[in-house]
Each structure stands twice: as structure tokens, then as C-alpha cells.
Amino acid sequence: MTIQGLAFIPEGDNLPIAIVSHGFMANYKTTEGYAKFLAERGFAAFCFDFNGGCIHGKSDNDTTKMTVFTEKEDLKAVIAYTRKLSFVNKDDVTLMGCSQGGFVSALTGAELGKKIRRLILFYPALCIPDDARAGKMMFAKFDPQNIPEVIHCGPMKLGRAYAQSVQDVDEIEAICCYDGPVLIVHGSKDEIVDCSYARKAAEAYRNAELVIIPDGKHGFSKEHDKIALEAVERFVKE
């Protein structure tokens, strides 16, 4: 399969890498501004479309085969690609993800360990395993004991594996072995992913900073984005 995306490459050599992952049903355009922000701060920054992760995306697109684990493999492929580029520092990789892309980034960080320098997680969708066990995921409702072959989730069709693959996952246990620095930014009024998930993750990580944005929702407003990016700027400087 082919993964397509966009790169922002500042001048220079030995550049740190930043890879930004979009959320459920979104595409790279929703994270393009974050990639550009990081490039302006000296990162070779990449955003991309997950295979099967978008309603309208440029990568190969079979939404019924997508799971958080196929997206983890996509992200690992992007990491492998960027680390081979001649102008980057392959030992300085930052993963940033929004919502489901945040959960995928956290899973990837846990697997790759010291290959990842830091994690930046915006409202990470750590609720996905609990939602799958409850049979209620975003716009979809189903019997969690008898998951249909196709799950209709608003405008997006998901396969049985999307829910089934995470039903036995403890989301905190799956991510907390990563011991590098982690920044989690979450809104206090997120109605899709309760901020209690962010609090649990911050407590479980060895080296985490948690920023709760008062009145913030799932997907930040322009005002809340400014607060979040101020936190990111401080974090990457440290």
C-alpha cells in the first residue's frame, strides 16, 4: 500500500524529525498546521494520511481493513522512511498525534522505545478499547459480543476487526512502558474522550506533563489551539 502526505523541510542538516498523525475519519489537512508549526521551529515535519483512516484521503483507502494496529504499522513505515533521509537526525524523532492518531502514536512509542525522543498527544483517544467493549464507538452502536462484519459509523464503514482487535486491550498498560518525555493536552469538556483518560495516562507515564485546557473540547478551537501550541513550544525546547 502507498502512504501519501506532506513534508515541511527547513534548511539545514541533522534536523530533528516530527511526524504528526491525524484522528479518526480526518486526513493530513487537519494536522498540516501543526507540522508547519514544528517546521518553523527547526523540525523536518511530516503529516500523512493513514491507509483506510480517512473518508477522503490520498493514501490507499479501505476503511473496513483499518484498525489502530494497522495505523501503528503505517506510522512505523513513515518513521522508517523519514529516518533514512540524508538531512535528518534519525535518533531525534518526535511523534505527535491527535485523537486516534494520539493513541496510535502512544502505542508506537511504547513499541519503539528509545527510537522515539518524545511524544506529543492532543486529546488522545484512549477510550477506544472501552468503547469497543461497550459496543458504542463514535456514531456506531453494535453488540460487542456479536460484532457485525461491517460497522456503519456515520459516513465511514469499519470492519469487525476495528472493534474486535482492541476489546482485550488495557489502553494504559499498552502505552505506559514508554519512558521518554510525554506532553498530553486535553480539553476539560471533551465529550468524545473524557479527560480522565488523559489523567490516568499522565499518572502512568514515567515522565509526563499534562495540560488540561478549561472548556476545551475534542478538536481545539483557535483560542485553545494557541494554548496547546504554547505548551508544545515549551516542551520541545526542553
pLDDT digit string (tens) for 179-220?
Answer: 999 999 999 999 999 999 999 999 999 999 999 999 999 999
Q: What is the pLDDT of residue 56?
A: 87
What average pLDDT does the chain have?
97
Can you give the pLDDT at residue 127? 98
> What integer pLDDT is reported at residue 139 of this predicted model?
85
The more confident residue out of 60 and 37 is: 37
Query: Looking at the predicted structure, is the pLDDT value of residue 175 above 90?
Result: yes
pLDDT at res. 138: 84
**DSSP string across 152-190:** EETTEEEEHHHHHTTTT--HHHHHTT--S-EEEEEETT-
Tell me whether strands 44-48 and 5-8 are parallel, antiparallel or unpaired.
Answer: antiparallel
Q: What is the pTM of this model?
A: 0.97
Q: Which residues of 164-194 are buried (b: 16+ CB within 10 A; e: fewer)?
A: ebbeebebbebbbebebbbbbbbbeebebbb
Q: Sorting pLDDT into bands at 50, 70 and 90, what band is 234?
A: very high
- Measure the CA–CA gap between 199 and 17, rounded to whole angstroms: 27
Task: Quote helix, strand, coil % in the chain, to nearest 5.
Answer: 35, 25, 40
* 25: pLDDT strictly greater than 90: yes
Q: CA–CA separation, 158 vs 135, rounded Å?
A: 13
User: Which residue blocks in the chain are alpha helix, DSSP H?
Assistant: 32-39, 68-83, 100-112, 128-134, 160-164, 171-175, 195-204, 222-237
Which amino acid, one-letter code, is at 58? K
Reported as a pLDDT band with limits 50, 70 and 90, residue 134 is very high
What confidence category does residue 58 fall into, taking pLDDT thresholds of 50, 70 and 90?
Answer: very high
- Per the structure block, which three cell numbers stand in for 161? 476487526
Does residue 55 register a pLDDT over 90?
Answer: no
In the prediction, which pLDDT does 76 show? 98
Residue pLDDT, tens place only, 71-120: 999 999 999 999 999 999 999 999 999 999 999 999 999 999 999 999 99
What is the reported pLDDT for 61?
79
- Give the chain's domains with CATH numbers: 5-132+172-237 (3.40.50.1820)
pLDDT band at 128 (very low <50, low <70, confident <90, very high): very high
Distance in angstroms (rounded) separating the CA atoms of residues 16 and 92: 5
Residue 51, number of CB atoms within 10 A of its CB: 23
Q: How confident is the model at residue 35 (pLDDT cuts 50, 70, 90)?
A: very high
pLDDT above 70: percentage of residues in the chain: 100
pLDDT of 190: 97
